[in-house]
Amino acid sequence: MQSGKLISILTILILLSGFIGFETIRKSDKYVIGIVTPTVIQIDLNGNKAVDNNETICISQVETLTSKLTVNQDELIKNLKISNTDAIKLGYLTDNFSENLLLNKRVRLKYTGTENQNCKFADIVINNESYRSKLLKSGLGFYNGKTLLKKEYNKQLATAKKLNLVILNHRSSKYHKLDCKYGLIARDAIIIPARQLPKEAQPCKFCHTDRKINQQQKERKTIPVSYPLAISNGSVKMYLTDLTIKLKPERTCASLACKEILNQINQAQDTIDIALYGWDATPEIHNAILKAKSRGVKLRIVYDTSNNDYYPETKEIIKAADESATDGKQFLMHNKFMIFDKKKIITGSMNFSNTDFSGFNSNCLLFINSAEIAQIYLEEFEQMLSGKFHNAKSHIAHKTVVLGKTKLTPFFSPKDKIITTNIIPLINSAKNYIYIPAFILTHDELAAALIKAKQRGVDVKIIIDATNTFASRSKIKILRNAGVPVKVENYAGKVHSKSIIIDDKYIIAGSMNFTKSGENTNDENSLIIEDERLARYYREFFEYLWRKIPDKYLKQGVRAEGKYSIGSCSDGVDNNFDGKIDMEDAGCKN
């Protein structure tokens, strides 16, 4: 009897010690949050998800090339007896190798005991293997200026020579050949494949002297440089904005989506009701609203309280309102819709801000000419105007409105559990494809449904914004590990859409992010749209964006503000919300 108890106690102790050991190892692991070069790695040693002093690790006893133009690697190039151009190409491969292997991964460190003013020296252990050893075995790492594996090195060099890379100067928006002296001295430049050049990039007139169509221009034609951003289907118009085109926001109503808003404000005769998360005083829009008021149009606004610091100009539009109401700071009033004369609405993911009005961020906006739809939105609006927000609101009965060939069903959070009760059933019944351009995805059950759809043969693809690559509840890693392709965008603007396209049949679009708070606590609105033509149009736009984002971002993330996020180091925007802009940000300095 006692021996049985002893065995049980020993078993518990063994399990406990194993658990403690596992926890000790787990806590000793650290995340890689930045790759300066393949041998200079930024690791989050203190767990605050930011790069701080003394968090740079240098790999000893191995050398590599890099495509970072600011790094002096003349001695290694001389030892390898290759051209500067081939060195840059080989460095580009090595950068990708390191980023794919390490970035956003949990690693252990084996310190050598030495350090200098710039970094601590260590080897990095990833999946129980030495990173230094992996570099040497790949043919991309060198010891004393020489390769230890000639065959592997020659394979890598042959692959590098085939790459068609250019130098893109963010500041001037010029692109250069790899041997162009003007490109090599550019302060704000990166190496990218020619096919990824932004639409507005122009060839350097000194290094692109051939008047015929050069190879770079040929490659650019493999991906359309732009996509039609509006489609009309009778009473419903859909507007999209493209973050790959406009690399700097303006205080102008530049996008077609904004022009539709401006047009409806100018046509309003009686009322303009606005539910807004935040407001920037874009002159054309702001002045049009003041003119509408001067001709007797009544302006009513409900708005969010929590983001006054980020949208300080919200108070200006509130001053102009005849009636207004706001929620508390605990949850978000995250709607973005307008109702005109109680018979037309504009809704979607677009904030009423400069970054969205000008087309800098990617959004989906819908104009619906329907008094029936407007009345549904008006019922929701007037509840909030009366002071009822979030769960204090009454539930609005679901109603599908048919406008020609388009069926529209509005839903409102938090009373409608739209992800759980409406979106997931559509995911479960999908047969061909599910495409999602989204700002963030953290909803557990939605992620699980997408994984099941992938497992039964549905083509599932997701484009996610770089800002949320490192979100604590992000499902990127879980989805990727389950075989769902997730691309992280690499442009200055945000993928701000909150959309799902299914089987050339359904579109889900609105203000709601795919999160628990979006479904259960915030004030949000979403539409389920059933329309083959609109769904096909949105699907083709998604495929266009998918092709423009490099495939390497299927495996790794990218800094929202950094040189590989195109345009983010010269757009004047704090892209990652850390209080630092452009070259002040660590990602741009590196």
Residue 516, domain CATH:
3.30.870.10
Residue 23: pLDDT over 50: no
Same-domain status, 210 and 182 = yes
Q: How confident is the model at residue 115 (pLDDT cuts 50, 70, 90)?
A: confident
Same-domain status, 60 and 117 = yes
Has residue 86 been placed in a domain? Answer: yes
The rounded distance, in Å, linking the Cα atoms of 517 and 514 is 8
Residue 488: pLDDT over 80: yes
Same-domain status, 199 and 322 = no
pLDDT of residue 27: 44
Any idea what DSSP says for residue 52? -
Same-domain status, 461 and 524 = yes
Exactly one of 246, 336, 443, 494 is catalytic; which is it? Answer: 336
Residue 225 token pair: 């440089």
Total Cβ atoms within 10 A of residue 584:
13
CA angle centred on 285, ends 231 and 309, rounded to 5°: 110
| pTM for this predicted structure | 0.78
Total tally of structural domains belonging to the chain = 3
pLDDT of residue 588: 81
Residue 231: pLDDT over 60: yes
Q: Which residue has the higher pLDDT, 122 or 33?
A: 122
Residue 383: pLDDT over 90: yes
- The string of pLDDT tens digits covering residues 448-475 is 999 999 999 999 999 999 998 777 788 9
Q: Are 364 and 499 in contact (CB under 8 A)?
A: yes
Same-domain status, 136 and 238 = no
Boundary of a domain, candidates 222, 238, 255:
222
Has residue 398 been placed in a domain? Answer: yes
Q: Are 574 and 355 in contact (CB under 8 A)?
A: no
Q: Are 545 and 463 in contact (CB under 8 A)?
A: yes
| 36, HSE (Cβ side, Cα atoms, 13 Å) | 18
Q: How confident is the model at residue 217 (pLDDT cuts 50, 70, 90)?
A: low
- 10 Å CB burial of residue 236 (0-12, 13-18, 19+) is buried
Q: Which residue has the higher pLDDT, 265 or 214?
A: 265
Same-domain status, 324 and 444 = yes
Has residue 572 been placed in a domain? Answer: no
pLDDT of residue 10: 54
- The string of pLDDT tens digits covering residues 144-185 is 999 999 999 999 999 999 999 999 887 777 899 999 988 888
Q: Active-site residue 496, yes or no?
A: no
Q: Which of 140-149, 212-221, 223-232, 460-469 has the lowest mean pLDDT?
A: 212-221
pLDDT of residue 36: 86
Q: How confident is the model at residue 31 (pLDDT cuts 50, 70, 90)?
A: confident
Has residue 577 been placed in a domain? Answer: no
Same-domain status, 261 and 310 = yes
Has residue 18 been placed in a domain? Answer: no
Average pLDDT for 487-495: 95
Q: How confident is the model at residue 213 (pLDDT cuts 50, 70, 90)?
A: very low
pLDDT of residue 338: 98
Alpha helices in 247-344 (DSSP H): 256-267, 283-294, 314-320
| Structural domain span for residue 175 | 165-222
- The string of pLDDT tens digits covering residues 297-335 is 999 999 999 887 789 999 999 999 999 999 988 899 999
Q: Which residue has the higher pLDDT, 360 or 53?
A: 360
Same-domain status, 492 and 523 = yes
Same-domain status, 184 and 252 = no
Exactly one of 68, 120, 246, 334 is catalytic; which is it? Answer: 334
Average pLDDT for 196-206: 80
Residue 577: pLDDT over 50: yes
Residue 426: pLDDT over 60: yes
Q: How confident is the model at residue 194 (pLDDT cuts 50, 70, 90)?
A: confident
Q: How confident is the model at residue 226 (pLDDT cuts 50, 70, 90)?
A: low
Q: How confident is the model at residue 215 (pLDDT cuts 50, 70, 90)?
A: low
Residue 245: pLDDT over 70: yes
pLDDT of residue 25: 38
pLDDT of residue 19: 43
Q: Active-site residue 334, yes or no?
A: yes
Has residue 515 been placed in a domain? Answer: yes
Boundary of a domain, candidates 100, 123, 155:
155
Question: What is the percentage of the chain residues whose pLDDT exceeds 90?
Answer: 68
The bridge status of strand 406-413 relative to strand 524-530 is antiparallel
The CATH number given to whatever domain includes residue 43 is: 2.40.50.90
Residue 222: pLDDT over 70: no
Has residue 98 been placed in a domain? Answer: yes
Has residue 6 been placed in a domain? Answer: no
Q: Active-site residue 398, yes or no?
A: no
The rounded distance, in Å, linking the Cα atoms of 69 and 155 is 24
pLDDT of residue 315: 92
Residue 493: pLDDT over 70: yes
Same-domain status, 285 and 358 = yes
Same-domain status, 131 and 217 = no
Same-domain status, 145 and 242 = no
* Chain mean pLDDT for the chain: 89
Q: How confident is the model at residue 550 (pLDDT cuts 50, 70, 90)?
A: confident
Exactly one of 86, 105, 259, 341 is catalytic; which is it? Answer: 341
Q: Where are the beta strands (DSSP E) in 241-378?
A: 271-276, 298-303, 323-326, 337-340, 344-348, 364-369
